[in-house]
Amino acid sequence: MSTLSKRLKEARLLAGLSQEQLGLRIDLDPASASTRMNRYELAKREPDLELVERIADELGLPAAFFYAVRDEEAELLRLFNTLSAEGKERVLGLLRGES
């Protein structure tokens, strides 16, 4: 299983969507939505960057989440994305060593 396929399945399950539901939400052809998403999750095919960006937008995640190799990085990206602009600035300030 590739990193992308693992993250795709993880994100879809967190959103509580079936493969078909996610495929339809990102405008895949209804006749093949479930099959295509299944192939992406099994790493039999890899979606192009534009499709990954559509998936990310639909699931409220940054596209980088799908490429994060380490689980901690993926979790950080997912959680950081949920913060308000002010929250993001505060976290970045802490990481930069600012008070």
Per-residue pLDDT, 1: 80
pTM above threshold 0.85: yes
Encode the chain (99 residues) as per-residue pLDDT tens digits.
899 999 999 999 999 999 999 999 999 999 999 999 999 999 999 999 999 999 999 999 999 999 999 999 999 999 999 999 999 999 999 999 986
* DSSP calls for 36-74: HHHHHHTTSS---HHHHHHHHHHHT--GGGGG--SHHHH
The structure tokens 């994305």 sit at 81
What separation in angstroms does the CA of 34 have from each of 53, 54, 69, 78? 18, 16, 25, 24
